[in-house]
Amino acid sequence: MSSTLTDTAPRFLADYRPADFTINTVDLTINLDDTCSQVISELTIKRQGDNQQALQLNGEQLTLVSLALDNHALSNDQYQLNDTILTIPASSLPDNENFTLSITTEINPQENTALEGLFKSGDAFCTQCEAEGFRRISYYLDRPDVMATFTTKVIADKSLYPYLLSNGNKVDSGDLTDNKHFVTWHDPYPKPCYLFALVAGDFDLLENSFTTASGREVALEIFVDKGNLAKAKHAMVSLQKSMKWDEETFGLEYDLDIYMIVAVDFFNMGAMENKGLNVFNSKYVLADSQCATDSDYFNIEAVIAHEYFHNWTGNRVTCRDWFQLSLKEGLTVFRDQQFSAQMHSSAVTRIQNVRLLRSQQFAEDAGPMAHPIRPEKVLEMNNFYTLTVYEKGSEVIRMLHTLIGVEKFRKGMDLYFARFDGMAVTCDDFINAMSDASGKDLSQFKLWYSQSGTPVIKVQESFEQQTNIYTLTLSQHSPVTKKQQDPQALHIPIKIELISGNNDKANQSELLELNQAEQSWQFSGFIGKPTLAMLCDFSAPVKLVFEQNDVDLLTIMKKANNSFCRWDAGQKLLMSYVQQLAFDTEHPLPKELLMAINEMLTSAGDRAFIAEQLSLPSFDEAASLMVDVEPIALSNALSKLSSFIAQGCQQELLASYEACQQERSTNDTPHSGVANRALKNVCLAYLSILPKYQALVTEQYQHATDNEDIEQENMTDSLAALTCSAKHNLADLNQQLQHFEKKWHQTTLVMDKWFALNAGVVSDDIFSRLDTLLAHQQFSLNNPNRARSLIGAFAMNNPKYFHCQTGRGYQFLSKQIAKLNEINPQVASRLITPLIQYKSFAPAHQKLMKAELVNLQALANLSNDLKEKLDAALSD
Ligand code: B3K
Ligand code: ZN
């Protein structure tokens, strides 16, 4: 279980105090065994000041074998042990300032289904220590401000585990008796224990290198399961691009002689930035065009970059305490988003960032687990690796970047590293460095770190005909909650564009700094009222209350320079119809909408951008903009709007589909290939609603999945076709699903897609399908990717049945969560998200969802991970 057995008290940011002891060096000898691995840890410890405190080390699920201080064994009466803490009282400690502590413990990796600490992923051993997993390997001061240099000797059977890896540089290796061997690693950079890693296994190894700007050669090594070598190439190229980008953009070079990445199938999240030895979910490493989609390629590059960028923002400068998590995560997400924007279309990348934020983070910020990007109270730290800390955290860094500009931002980063390299620091330290380097007063800006909830900005405008003066008034308010009684006005960068009615006049762009509850600005020089495009590039993570009519929205769609605003105006227009249809299914839809869609389809712009324009807001995006959501009405409204567009624009959709299809074979560059597929598949999604075009789905599926020319096979197209079949329960669906399974049954990552597709089938027999899937030979709740691909995909991508009136969807989810509570609480805790957000739904649904939460709360052995969320949801 991920949670501690006796620690059920929350911790508070306000209670932070430095440790009474530091650990300078750690010497580990780890003798690997499936059920009884032995860990010998030799620590050199230094007392801080003249404190006479007991030494308290964290440890969970460890068997203590022996303990010695300065080489003298400690007897049972010289220390105390409970389920989570080893206490050596002051009376047992030596008087000197420095002393050594030797600890021998045993652990059972095989039984570790929580996948924290040392565990087995298939045949390999691997570790996950962030946030507080090292305490499952050995007793330690498991907190990020205790930084030590690690030397790690790994011992294991030579035939089963030819590769023995840990952080830093390899310094020794050799053979031992009993067919065992060892490798010793030394990491010269002091680090918190959450960055410790160990991997042992038999892999295929992809090798390459990178020469840093200052001429040092770094060995790059990617370890994958045997047979998967060719699928690691994209990850390798992504790593090299990331290294180059960080040098060019921030002057940051890699600092060890070797950078290793290991891909494993059993992993709770995407990847982990352990110093010199990243461990990755294989989903974010392995790709070839036959088995990975375009978004898989994109995500692999982004996650590889993210973990690499952590080497500076996270590892060289780390967090003082876990409340500061956004110091490294918000900043590193911002860095990876900037990187992706430069590698691809910056407009489309930004749109995708915003879609994620609006659909998921806004909901989190409005739900019972809402917290500031720097939380103040935590029961289970793993619950705070959230969209708020990551994505909103990145938006906060982006706002800073907007407020001070690119050059001063770079100066601020330089100052941050000059001041804090090798240290564990706070979010305030970061902002102070930015403020000192830029000369900008950021004291009010810091409120973004302590206030939760999505701020709402009300927009009012007026135009004085006589003077031609345009006045814009903005007012802001942040939500009041039980935890946040008196939110203050924030410092918010608002980028706008004013589009003049006079065609000769260029649009006027402005950066406004909203820092009061209400503020006005005046602009002159227009003939007639200009059209306001608000929040260019989505310059702040806020919601707008701004009644813009269809004419204004259409003007922005056509005339704004800012691509984000053009896209956003279209979405706003679409969203207004979704809302009307959700309220009144017979609400008439205007022809102008079809004309606007046709114009988009025939415009000459980037096809990836057009695909984003044509994509309706997702169920979650729409829900986050509504109150008392009637989920079935919303889902029907989205279907109705899609049908209207499909019906009214069928010729143009078909023409675009065919144009993209043709160009695919004649003129494929990497970007145009992706863009063509994106647009083509949006068109297919619309066309597949109309029976007369459903043959296209079958054709595309066959062409992309079952082609004599294997080069023509393509997972993006195959999956897009299958998704249409699943969504409309088309006649060929079952046959396609069987064919796909037969073809891919040996490819784990593709089977995850297959499970997700099945979970998304929109059909009345979905619950019997789900039961069959749970019993499928390849299904296991012990594998997080698999659990998410079935249970998560159903709850997130099948709103019609997840929210069905009988409550069966909610029951299905809660039953699986109860099982996962015993197996892997972190995964259970992630999957509960849609249920705890019950308050955004209409009363009848709230009641059904709440009943499931109450059942879960009564579980015996409830993990802290779930307890924290359930308590918040049910007391809200
Ligand atoms: N730092 C890790 C996440 C650790 C999650 C712990 N539950 C990956 C990342 O953000 O890069
Ligand atoms: Zn990260």
**Is residue 307 among the annotated active site residues?**
yes
pLDDT-derived band at 356, boundaries 50, 70, 90: very high
Least confident of 6-20, 119-133, 323-337: 6-20
Tell me the C-alpha distance between 460 and 147, whole Å: 52
Which residues, listed in sequence order, are joined to residue 473 by a DSSP beta bridge?
460, 520
Helix (H, G, I), strand (E, B) or coil at 811: helix
Tell me the C-alpha distance between 632 and 636, whole Å: 6
Ligand 2 centroid to residue 200 C-alpha, Å: 24
Question: What value does the mean pLDDT take over residues 799-813?
Answer: 98
Q: Is the omega angle on the peptide bond into residue 756 within 30 degrees of 0, that is, cis? A: no
What residues flank ligand 1, with Cβ below 6 Å? 130-131, 269, 271-273, 306-307, 310, 329, 382, 385
Tell me the C-alpha distance between 682 and 676, whole Å: 10
Question: What percent of the chain has pLDDT above 70?
Answer: 99
Residue 256, φ and ψ in degrees, nearest 5: -110, 175
Strands 318-319 and 424-425: parallel
**Burial letters 50-76, b for 16+ CB under 10 A, else e:** eeeebbbbbbbbbebeebebeeeebee
850-875 pLDDT, tens digit each = 999 999 999 999 999 999 999 999 99
Tell me the C-alpha distance between 741 and 701, whole Å: 13
CA dihedral for 22, 25, 26, 27, sign (positive or negative): negative
Token pair 């390629």 is found at 297
Atom of ligand 1 nearest to the CA of 381: 7
**Do the beta carbons of residue 514 and residue 447 sit within 8 Å?**
no
pLDDT-derived band at 289, boundaries 50, 70, 90: confident
H/E stretch holding 44 reads strand 37-47
- Read off the DSSP letter of residue 506: P
Residue 10, judged by CB atoms within 10 A of its CB (0-12, 13-18, 19+), counts as middle
Six token digits for residue 47: 């007392």
Say if residue 1's pLDDT is above 70.
no
Tell me the C-alpha distance between 555 and 592, whole Å: 13
Nearest residue (by CA) to ligand 1, atom 1, is 272
Question: What value does the mean pLDDT take over residues 629-644?
Answer: 98
Helix (H, G, I), strand (E, B) or coil at 604: coil
Question: pTM for this structure?
Answer: 0.98
Token pair 């889902």 is found at 635
Ligand 1 centroid to residue 216 C-alpha, Å: 29
Token pair 């907190």 is found at 143
Output the 3-class SS for 765-784: CHHHHHHHHHCCCCCCCCCH
Q: Which ligand sits closest to the CA of 827?
A: 1
Q: Cβ contacts of residue 392 below 8 Å, gap of 6+?
A: 330, 357, 361, 365, 373, 541
Token pair 């307890």 is found at 867
Nearest residue (by CA) to ligand 1, atom 3, is 272
Tell me the C-alpha distance between 106 and 378, whole Å: 29
Output the 3-class SS for 201-266: ECCEEEEEEEECCCCCEEEEEEEECCCCHHHHHHHHHHHHHHHHHHHHHHCCCCCCCEEEEEEECC
Phi-psi category of 662—alpha, beta or left, where left has phi over 0 and alpha has psi -120 to 50?
alpha
Best probe residue, ligand 1, of 129, 132, 272 (max atoms within 8 Å of C-beta): 272
| Domains 17-202 and 456-480+488-540 alike in fold | yes
pLDDT of residue 4: 40
Q: Cβ contacts of residue 442 below 8 Å, gap of 6+?
A: 400, 431, 432, 434, 435, 491
pLDDT-derived band at 118, boundaries 50, 70, 90: very high
Best probe residue, ligand 1, of 127, 134, 135, 269 (max atoms within 8 Å of C-beta): 269
pLDDT of residue 664: 63
Say if residue 459's pLDDT is above 80.
yes
Question: What value does the mean pLDDT take over residues 744-751?
Answer: 98
Tell me the C-alpha distance between 63 and 75, whole Å: 15
**Do the beta carbons of residue 145 and residue 191 sit within 8 Å?**
no
**DSSP secondary structure string for all residues of 410-434:** HHHHHHHHHHHTT-EE-HHHHHHHH
Say if residue 509's pLDDT is above 60.
yes
Ligand 1 centroid to residue 249 C-alpha, Å: 24
* CATH (residue range 547-690): 1.25.50.10
Nearest residue (by CA) to ligand 1, atom 2, is 272
Tell me the C-alpha distance between 416 and 764, whole Å: 57
Nearest residue (by CA) to ligand 1, atom 8, is 272
pLDDT-derived band at 5, boundaries 50, 70, 90: very low
Q: Which CATH architecture has domain 17-202?
A: Sandwich (2.60)
Q: Nearest-CA neighbor of 140 among 47, 49, 45, 74?
A: 45
Say if residue 166's pLDDT is above 80.
yes
Tell me the C-alpha distance between 874 and 795, whole Å: 20
Amino acid letter for position 164: L
Atom of ligand 1 nearest to the CA of 382: 7
Residue 487, φ and ψ in degrees, nearest 5: -65, 145
Residue 802, φ and ψ in degrees, nearest 5: -60, -40
Atom of ligand 1 nearest to the CA of 826: 7
Report the half-sphere exposure of 337 (CA within 13 A, side-chain side).
25
Ligand 2 centroid to residue 358 C-alpha, Å: 20
Q: Cβ contacts of residue 443 below 8 Å, gap of 6+?
A: none
Classified by CATH at the fold level, domain 745-876 comes out as Zincin-like fold (1.25.50)
What rounded mean pLDDT belongs to the chain? 97
pLDDT of residue 668: 59
Q: How far is CA 176 from CA 154, 179, 183, in A?
A: 12, 7, 11
Token pair 């390459």 is found at 208
Ligand 2 centroid to residue 336 C-alpha, Å: 10
**Do the beta carbons of residue 258 and residue 205 sit within 8 Å?**
no
Residues listed for the chain = 876
Q: How far is CA 371 from CA 323, 540, 830, 831, in A?
A: 11, 18, 16, 18
Six token digits for residue 173: 């290796």
Output the 3-class SS for 101-127: EEEEEEECHHHCCCCCEEEEECCEEEE
Residue 630, φ and ψ in degrees, nearest 5: -90, 100
Maximum C-alpha span of the chain: 95
Given the residues 301, 307, 329, 612, the one annotated as active site: 307
Atom of ligand 1 nearest to the CA of 307: 11
Q: Where are the domains of the chain?
A: 17-202, 320-449, 456-480+488-540, 547-690, 745-876
pLDDT-derived band at 666, boundaries 50, 70, 90: low
Q: Identify residues whose C-beta is under 5 A from ligand 2, the ion.
A: 329, 332
CA dihedral for 535, 538, 544, 550, sign (positive or negative): positive
101-111 pLDDT, tens digit each = 999 999 999 99
Helix (H, G, I), strand (E, B) or coil at 469: strand
Tell me the C-alpha distance between 140 and 146, whole Å: 10
Tell me the C-alpha distance between 736 and 727, whole Å: 13
**Do the beta carbons of residue 117 and residue 263 sit within 8 Å?**
no
470-479 pLDDT, tens digit each = 999 999 999 9
pLDDT of residue 2: 40
H/E stretch holding 755 reads helix 748-759
pLDDT-derived band at 204, boundaries 50, 70, 90: very high
pLDDT of residue 186: 98
**Do the beta carbons of residue 380 and residue 868 sit within 8 Å?**
yes
H/E stretch holding 80 reads strand 80-81
223-257 pLDDT, tens digit each = 999 999 999 999 999 999 999 999 999 999 999 99
pLDDT of residue 669: 64
pLDDT-derived band at 3, boundaries 50, 70, 90: very low
Tell me the C-alpha distance between 681 and 638, whole Å: 18
Superfamily of domain 456-480+488-540: Aminopeptidase N, middle-beta domain (2.60.40.1840)
Q: How many helices (H) and strands (E) does the chain have?
A: 30, 31
Superfamily of domain 320-449: Neutral Protease Domain 2 (1.10.390.10)
Helices (H), 512-562: 550-559
**Do the beta carbons of residue 718 and residue 692 sit within 8 Å?**
no
Tell me the C-alpha distance between 662 and 654, whole Å: 12
Say if residue 792's pLDDT is above 70.
yes
CA dihedral for 683, 688, 689, 695, sign (positive or negative): positive
Helices (H), 561-693: 563-583, 591-602, 607-614, 619-624, 631-648, 650-666, 670-687
**Do the beta carbons of residue 532 and residue 496 sit within 8 Å?**
yes
Best probe residue, ligand 1, of 130, 337, 829 (max atoms within 8 Å of C-beta): 130
Tell me the C-alpha distance between 105 and 30, whole Å: 10
Six token digits for residue 575: 């969203």
Q: Nearest-CA neighbor of 126 among 105, 110, 149, 146?
A: 110
pLDDT of residue 7: 62
CA dihedral for 493, 494, 497, 498, sign (positive or negative): negative
Ligand 2 centroid to residue 848 C-alpha, Å: 36
Residue 520, φ and ψ in degrees, nearest 5: -125, 150
Token pair 């820092």 is found at 515
